[in-house]
Amino acid sequence: MRGLCALALLCGACGAAPDEVDDASADVAPTTDTARDVRDVSADSSDAMDAAEVSRDVMDASVDSSSVMDAAEVSRDVMVANVVRDVADASVDGPAMASGIAPRNAVPGESMARDGSNAVSVASGGEQVFRVDVAAGEHVQFMLRFGPERAAVVLRVDRWNGAAPVTIGETDGGRGLRTLAVFDPSGPRTYWARVRPMAALTGVTLTVTRTPFQDGAACTTDCARLLQLPLPNDPRVDGYATDDATVFRYQFGRRDLLMFVRHAAHTMQRRGAAPFIPQDLSQWDGETPGTDTGAPRHASHQRGKDVDLSLYGTDSLAPWRSYCTVVTNADGRACTVGSVRGFDAATNAQMFADFFATGRVTMCFLDAQLITAVRPAARAAMFPTAVATQFTDGTHLQHWPNHDNHIHVRVSEAATTGSAFSWEPFEAP
């Protein structure tokens, strides 16, 4: 338990936001942006860039930074280190997060939410609590839409751990929209969606949508359906986590991509690896993240086919951070030759292989120096030929600027599996 708290704090200290438009657009308090970015350097302090370079280390060079939102538009997701720590502290000795349905009125003032639209009416500074009992194999989406677009509203989700409600996710980010999703394959579970506005909120709705979902490395039906990546119930079990750069409304992906992310996370967890951190997939509407603010954070990430994932370091952790000394030019960041440090090539090769084994990956983007480091590790792991060849074919792992701190994974949108997906055109990340 104490170890997870340390992991949560370390992730908060080391994590860097993914290819963002500007630090002000991240779902994190603006007062912490500079401190977080200055900390986002290689573990070897000799590789530290100067403060000006570090402050841009997490930004796609192709994005026009003039599209910064003003202070009133800054959106923030309140989460991560605190959420993970709360989950750990609430767990008693024994199996993490005991299953079960909570007794009625476990949360004072709760009301049972209906599937579909639920009327929201909350006084200024008040709270409305919606309870949902979820069956195993049900993905449940909570989506709150409201106006005016800049209204300050918090959506929080709690989970029954067998003894008490425990917060697993909270967001106050996004214009006129809050959205969180839950899923628990272990058995029936009670969740609560809490709506907390700063000013009176009436005439709006919280929509509850249930969708059948199952984990696995292969998707057979309804694979293109856009779903939000479920909140991790317990990162120690789910194998993935969130951090202070996570933007929940940008975590929507195809059903198959969500399955692959969760499958890889579970596989890494069984190997004893720390949780990795998925960041941008697509917006809730399938558009490129940042389109909602007029400042797209990527060239692609549409229709839920792409995901950015943190990488493992030799300290056995996977916060967002650079693994080399970078040089920045007109194209963006790139690792300098021979500067890779703290990068766990063997563990990252295992994670990549979990995705390659699905037969659905079309291409991945990673810095050339990290590719050079991971290929020998893949050879040493003696993966099956169908997986091993994807490390060296120049397509499934290819260089792109700004990928010194994460890997970009893309899955096919084709209905059937092919060996090389040669019919799918290249699209920059």
pLDDT tens across 287-305, in order?
999 999 999 999 999 999 9
pLDDT at 4: 39
| Cα–Cα distance measured from residue 389 to residue 411, given in angstroms and rounded to the nearest whole number | 17
| pLDDT band (50, 70, 90) for residue 423 | low
pLDDT value at position 149?
Answer: 75
3-state secondary structure labels for all residues of the chain: CHHHHHHHHHHHHHCCCCCECCHHHCCCCHHHHHHHHHHCCCCCHHHCCCHHHHHCCCECCCCCHHHCCCHHHCCECCCCHHHHHHHHHHCCCCCCCCCECCCCCCCCCCEECCCEEEEEEECCCCCEEEEEEECCCEEEEEEEECCCCCCCEEEEEEEECCCCEEEEEEEECCCCEEEEEECCCCCCEEEEEEEEECCCEEEEEEEEEEEECCCCCCCCCCCCCEEECCCCCCHHHHCECCCCCCCHHHCEEEHHHHHHHHHHHHHHHHCCCCCECECCCECCCCCCCCHHHCCCCCCCCCCCCEEEECCCECCCCCCCCCCCCEEEECCEEEECCCCCCCECHHHHHHHHHHHHCCCCEEEEEECHHHHHHHHHHHHHHCCCHHHHHHHCCCCCCEECCCCCCCEEEEECCCCCCCCCCCCCCCCCC
- pLDDT confidence band for 10 (50 / 70 / 90): very low
* Of residues 31 and 338, more confidently modeled: 338
**Mean pLDDT confidence for 391-418:** 91
Nearest to 201 by CA among 265, 121, 126: 121
Whether residue 328 has pLDDT greater than 50:
yes
Which pLDDT does position 31 carry in this prediction?
29
Task: Please check the confidence at residue 177 and state whether its pLDDT lies above 50.
Answer: yes
Other beta carbons within 10 Å of 330: 7
What burial class does residue 380 get, using C-beta atoms within 10 Å of its C-beta: 0-12 exposed, 13-18 middle, 19+ buried?
A: exposed
Q: What is the pLDDT of residue 417?
A: 57
List, in sequence order, every residue forming a beta bridge with 201; answer none if it has no partner: 122
Q: Which domains does the chain have, with CATH numbers?
A: 2-95+216-411 (3.30.1380)
Q: What is the mean pLDDT of the chain?
A: 81
Cβ–Cβ < 8 Å for 244, 28: yes
The pLDDT of residue 370: 98
Beta bridge partners of 196: 154
77 or 299: which leads in pLDDT:
299
Q: Among 44-48, 185-189, 386-390, 394-398, name the one with the lowest average pLDDT.
A: 44-48
Task: List, for residues 200-211, the tens digit of each pLDDT value.
Answer: 999 999 999 999
Nearest in space to 37 (alpha carbons), one of 19, 17, 20: 17
Question: pLDDT class for 418, splitting at 50, 70, 90?
Answer: low
Query: What residues form DSSP beta bridges with 160?
Result: 165
pLDDT value of residue 147: 80
Residue in 320, 319, 370, 310 with CA at minimum distance from that of residue 345: 370
Q: 32 or 254: which carries more pLDDT confidence?
A: 254
Summarised one tens digit per residue, pLDDT across range 344-364 is: 999 999 999 999 999 999 999
Residue pair 253/227 in contact (Cβ under 8 Å)? The answer is yes
Query: 148: pLDDT confidence band, cut at 50, 70 and 90?
Result: confident
Reported as a pLDDT band with limits 50, 70 and 90, residue 427 is confident
Q: Retrieve residue 87's tokens.
A: 């989950």
Of the pLDDT bands very low, low, confident and very high (cuts 50, 70, 90), residue 99 is low
pLDDT at residue 339 above 90? yes
Among 34-38, 193-197, 365-369, which is the least confidently predicted range?
34-38
pLDDT tens by residue, 107-134? 999 999 999 999 999 999 999 999 999 9
From first CA to last CA, the distance across the chain in angstroms is 37
**Stretch 28-54: mean pLDDT, rounded?**
32
What's residue 397's pLDDT?
Answer: 97
Residue of 130, 30, 9 whose CA lies nearest to 75: 30
* Position with higher pLDDT, 86 vs 165: 165
Q: Look at the alpha carbons of 298, 266, 310, 158 in this order and tell me if their dihedral is positive or negative.
A: positive
- Lowest-confidence segment of 96-100, 183-187, 380-384 by average pLDDT: 96-100
